[in-house]
Structure 1
Amino acid sequence: MESRGGVPARPPAYEGVWRFTAPAVDVSVPQARHAVRDLLKRQGVPLQDDAVQGLLLIVSELVTNAVRHAALLSPEVAVEVAIGPEWIRVSVEDNHPYRPKALETDAGRTGGRGLLLVREITREAGGVCDVEHTATGGKIIWAALPLRPAPSPAPPAPPAIPSPSA
């Protein structure tokens, strides 16, 4: 953290950890996406629009997977958003023990590529993603992306200073 005159700088106002739960049903997918989008706006997280869209797609894919594949053993899913000064991490936790793997691309399949998509979006953004087991036997699937603030508009060029006439 930078400081001014030996006084530590305060952390950005957007930093923190937010967690919410939702039933493992289809309607929770858009609700989770909207909740994360609203959180980013409310907290003033400095993300470019394409990064926000990628992050929201990751949330949609992870919640969709939990709803489709874990609902039998996990009637509720938890979504967590953790924001630091240089990164943002989204995770989805359920109580199903199966640890999924990203599937290879298969042009003949119409589904089953959600985690592959999550991995690609994360990689392109310069982030990382993984799956972890919980102490209760479930799992957490997460993706962490670097925070790259939207570029500020370039300041206007200073006016030309006329040279003194001789």
Structure 2
Amino acid sequence: MQVLQVQLAVAADPVEVGRARRWVRAQVLAFGADPGSPFAETLVLVVSELVTNAVVHTGRPAALRLSWPPDPAAPLRVEVSDASGTAPAPRHAAASATNGRGLELVELLCARWGWCPQGSGKLVWCELDRGPLAGGGSAREHGMLTA
């Protein structure tokens, strides 16, 4: 089984997060999936969180990679690499906080996630099941997206 892989270079600018989201939506279409599906919406949210972490917290360029197996039972893998060797650490944000929930969302919505050192930086990865999500629903069902 050949896995389709696509990669996007992300500049060290927070504006790039929006470009990464648009790119992911285009890839969903290119792979023949419905860009309005709960899976696609969740994928865009997860990518947004991981790319934001890489760009905002490091101030350096990053790389985004999607690995899309043709088997619909196989998970889609998202990888974001950056130049910081600092380990990602989920925070528990206060209810009134407007940020600080990125990795909590990734943990909730993905079947698996982790990280590993890569050169002088790191690679953060997650896998999304293309059926019902490991967290028990899509981002919309968890109230993280609105219509």
| TM-score using structure 1 length | 0.71
Instruction: Supply the RMSD in Å over aligned alpha carbons.
Output: 2.1
Identity %: 30
1:14-163 superposed matches below 5 A? 15-45=3-33, 49-71=37-59, 74=60, 76-84=61-69, 85=71, 86-122=74-110, 127-134=111-118, 136-148=119-131
Q: Do the aligned partners of residues 109 and 142 (structure 1) sit closer, same or farther apart at CA in structure 2, a change above 3 Å counting? A: same
Deviations 1:42-96 (A, max 9, x none): 121478711111110000011111111011xx3x110000011211011111011
Off by >2 Å, runs of 4+ in structure 1: 45-48
Deviations 1:93-148 (A, max 9, x none): 101111121112422432211111111111xxxx10111111x1201111101223
Cα distance between partner residues in 2 of 1:100 and 1:25? 19
CA deviation after TM superposition for structure 1 residue 41, in Å:
0.5
Cα distance between partner residues in 2 of 1:60 and 1:108? 21
SS at match of 2:54: helix
SS at match of 1:119: helix
Question: Which ranges of structure 1 fall in alignment gaps of 5 or more residues?
Answer: 1-10, 150-166
SS at match of 1:37: helix
Cα distance between partner residues in 2 of 1:111 and 1:22? 21
| TM-score using structure 2 length | 0.79
Residues 47 and 147 in structure 1, CA contact (< 8 A), matched pair in contact too: no
Residues 115 and 123 in structure 2, CA contact (< 8 A), matched pair in contact too: yes
Equivalenced residues, count: 129
SS at match of 2:131: coil
Cα distance between partner residues in 1 of 2:83 and 2:124? 12
Cα distance between partner residues in 2 of 1:46 and 1:114? 24
